[in-house]
Structure formats: C-alpha cells, structure tokens
Amino acid sequence: MEINDNLFFDAKHIWHPYSSVTNPSCIHEVVSAHGVRLTLKDGREIIDGMSSWWSTIHGYNHPRLNQAAKQQIDQMSHVMFGGLTHQPAVDLARKLVDMTIEPLQYVFFSDSGSISVEVAIKMAIQYWFAQGQTNKQRLLTIRNGYHGDTFGAMAVCDPVNGMHNMFEQVLPKHLFASAPICTHDDDWQDSDIAEFRQLIKQHHHEVAAVILEPLVQGAGGMRFYCPEYLRQVRQLCDQYDVLLILDEIATGFGRTGSLFAYEQADISPDILCIGKALTGGYMTLAATLCTEKITQGIGADGSGVLMHGPTFMANPLACRVACESIDLLLESNWQQQVKGIEQQLITELKPYQNNELVNNIRVKGAIGVVELHAPLDKQMDWLPAYIIDQGVWIRPFRNLIYIMPPYIIETDDLTTLTSAIGQVLQKLNLKYV
C-alpha cells in the first residue's frame, strides 16, 4: 500500500484540535472544496455537515468572496491597527453597527471568538474598575456553556461538564446557575430562573457581568432554551446593576433563524461577541460590540483606554472578505434557506427518536441534533472513516451527533446528511443493542 507522506508526517508531528499526538485519531486530507463538498486526496467527495465548525454559511470557494480576497490582497494584506486605520475596517464596523441592535455602537476587532470573549470580560471588569467598584470582578453564567479555550473564556465554561476541568485550580472562580430546561415560551416556568435569580441577588455586589450563549448552547452540549429566559436575565441584570454579555459567536449571522439570536427575545445586550461566520469561513476574525454606556463607563477614570490590542487586529484582508460575506448574506434569501433547512431537519431526524440509543431529537434553525442516552464509546476508531464512507463529513462528540450545514445546501444533499446519521445509528445499534 502506498503511504500518504502528508498523513504520515501529520500523524508524527502535527497536533489537531482536541486530539492526542501519542494516539492520533484518523485524519483525512482535503485537497479542495467547493459549495458544500470537500474533495479528499483519494478523489472522494463528501458533503460537509459541519460548515467547518459552523462558519462557512455560503459554502466553499464562493466567487464573490474569492474576488473580494483577491482585490484586497493586491492593495495590502495587513497593516497594524495601532495609530492607523483603513477602509475595510471602517466599512465592516459600519455594517456591524447597522445590522445589530441600535444601542451597540462601538466595535473592537480581534482574531478569534475566544479573544472576543476575553475582550468582553475585560470591558466589563474595566467598566466597573473605572466606576471605583473594583470589587465587581466575577461573572455569572449558566452550566453547559462554552465560550472558548483561552483562560478567561475557559473560566466561564462549565467547570464540571466542560472540556477544561483539569485547569480548575488555576482559573478564576465564577458563579454558575443551572441551565434552563424550558425550550418554548409556552412552557415557561419560574423555576427555570429561580437559581439564577438567587445568585444574582446574593452576589450582584461582586458580579461585573452575566455571560450567556443566547438560545443555543453550542460546544457545551448543543442545548436549546426559550427566549423568555433571556428576557428574565435582562430584567434581573437591570434590576441589580449587572452588565449583560451575549456570546453569539455560534448563533450570529442567521444560524437560529434570525440574524442574531437575541432578536427572538427582543432584548439588547451591553456587550456582544461575534465571530465564526463573520467572514463566511474564509479566515479568522471576530469582534466585540458594546454600547455607549460601556465606552463612557470605561472612560470615567479619565483615560478610557481599553487594555487590549491584538497584532492582527482588524486585518484588512479579513475585514474585506467579512464585508462581502455580510453583503452576500443580506442580499440572499437566507431566511427562507434556514427555514427550509429547519423543516427538513425536523421531518428527517424525527423518526430517529424511536431508536433505542436516542434520548432526544432537537432542531432550531439550521441546527439539527441527535442526542444519545450515553456518550459514544471512546474506542471508536472506526467511526470517522465510516462516516466518510457514507459520503459526508459529520463530527460527533460525547453523546451528540449533530449537523450545522451551509445555508446553500440543496435538499438532496441535506437528505444525504440526515440519512448518514441514520446509518451511524444503525451501526451503533448492531454494536451495542
């Protein structure tokens, strides 16, 4: 058998996300991508159900995004943002201010979603520091959340069920309420907010901000909850003088059926984090938006200097592609696309509820989740190759098999994805039932 030199070197020397180099997992080499398809080195084409971790909402190799990148790179690929500015950053900031809720008027650019969360936390703590309330340095959040892999972000991820419990002793100690159970406003019960209400009442004097993923908790468990919970949280933050940070890195730009998930609760955050789909998946870029209250508050000590400045902040190439991606989204029929994906996911995933291994099926916008009763066996080296043999790319984790496809996906391709989930369940049934 011919040895793939790239895969051999990769297995020996490259560390992949959430993986071991002493016991590397199965890796497949991608040589090109177009639309919703990835082409592997062995010639096979697979349908991407993950949107490259939820970012490639327009699909791969889009001609408009390609052209935007080509035009910008001939002008400049990068210039420092300290003391300088440029048209792509100004254009992108204008678009973000225009498309988000009106109180969000200020934009801080950063390199990744995790860093946008770090900046949001800094904003909140520095806001209170400038007010002379240096005791307000903790955050309040809910369990099952995920906000990133850097240290500030890790500290507000679920400390028990999250991915970072080995770092517990070196992380700041924040406050965690139980995650809401209610998924629809019609089923709202006050018990869902009771623990959160008690924590903010008891600790508001030391809490700088609440941080939440609105309506959809992503990598912490792919959980959905109802808009009423967000309304209740906003009211309690106002009542107890606590800032509200919403992390829309995964939910922003239409994924849940509205441009931003907070719109479904008709609330406004003090600070908003966005990333992932911002550039249509072309390159890394994120932003933290805030209100005038925050900027004026940080400036209350006479300086107003936010102590953060990434080297590649507001990278012109990324900003230019992000501008084109936003235009492409707003000019498209994305609402109908997401609604169509949602209806098809409901229809095609619902029958799997009868499978003995399945605990729950849930769908929101262009997100479909099959939750199993138990975590997938750690000894599943066969699973990635088996998934690819079905002609798709899906990346299960823990007890979840989920898809978040590009908005442009055709119905037949989406059926291939949902059918592949059925094939995986059948294979698991043969193995474990």
User: pLDDT digit string (tens) for 103-152?
Assistant: 999 999 999 999 999 999 999 999 999 999 999 999 999 999 999 999 99
Q: Determine contact, residues 346/323, Cβ cutoff 8 Å.
A: no
Cα–Cα distance measured from residue 67 to residue 70, given in angstroms and rounded to the nearest whole number: 5
Which architecture, in CATH terms, is 5-61+333-432?
Answer: Alpha-Beta Complex (3.90)
Half-sphere exposure of 353 (CA within 13 A, CB side): 12
Instruction: Return the pLDDT at 432.
Output: 63
348 pLDDT above the threshold of 60: yes
pLDDT over 80 (residue 161): no
**CA atoms of 199 and 210, how far apart (whole Å):** 11
Q: Calculate the average pLDDT of the chain.
A: 95
Please identify which of the residues 60, 146, 262, 407 carries the catalytic annotation: 146
Q: What is the pTM of this model?
A: 0.96
Query: How sure is the predictor about 3, in pLDDT bands with cuts at 50, 70 and 90?
Result: low
146 has catalytic annotation: yes
Question: Of these residues, 95, 122, 136, 276, which one is catalytic?
Answer: 276
Read off the pLDDT of residues 168-222 as tens digits, 9 standing for 90 and up. 888 989 999 999 999 999 999 999 999 999 999 999 999 999 999 999 999 999 9
Residue ranges per structural domain of the chain: 5-61+333-432, 66-331
Residue of 18, 173, 350, 431 with catalytic role: 18
Q: Cα(23)–Cα(426) distance, rounded to whole angstroms?
A: 27
DSSP letter assigned to residue 397: B
CA 104 to each of CA 99, 100, 131, 238: distance values in angstroms, whole numbers, following the listed order: 10, 7, 21, 17
Q: Which residues are registered as beta bridge partners of 141?
A: 176
- Set 48, 111, 158, 247: catalytic member: 247
Residue with tokens 């690929």, as numbered in its chain: 77
Please tell me the predicted confidence (pLDDT) of residue 281: 97
For the residues 2-9, what does the mean pLDDT come to? Answer: 80
Supply the DSSP symbol for 225.
-
Q: What CATH architecture does domain 66-331 belong to?
A: 3-Layer(aba) Sandwich (3.40)
- Which residues in 389-425 are b (16+ Cβ under 10 Å) and which e? ebbbbbbbebbbbbbbbbbbbeeebbebbbebbbebb
pLDDT digits (tens, 9 = 90+) for 24-52: 877 899 999 999 999 999 999 999 999 99
CA-nearest of 310, 355, 397 to 109 is 310
Active site residue 247: yes
pLDDT attached to residue 1: 38
Res. 380: pLDDT tops 90: no
Whether the domain at 5-61+333-432 and the domain at 66-331 fall into the same CATH topology: no
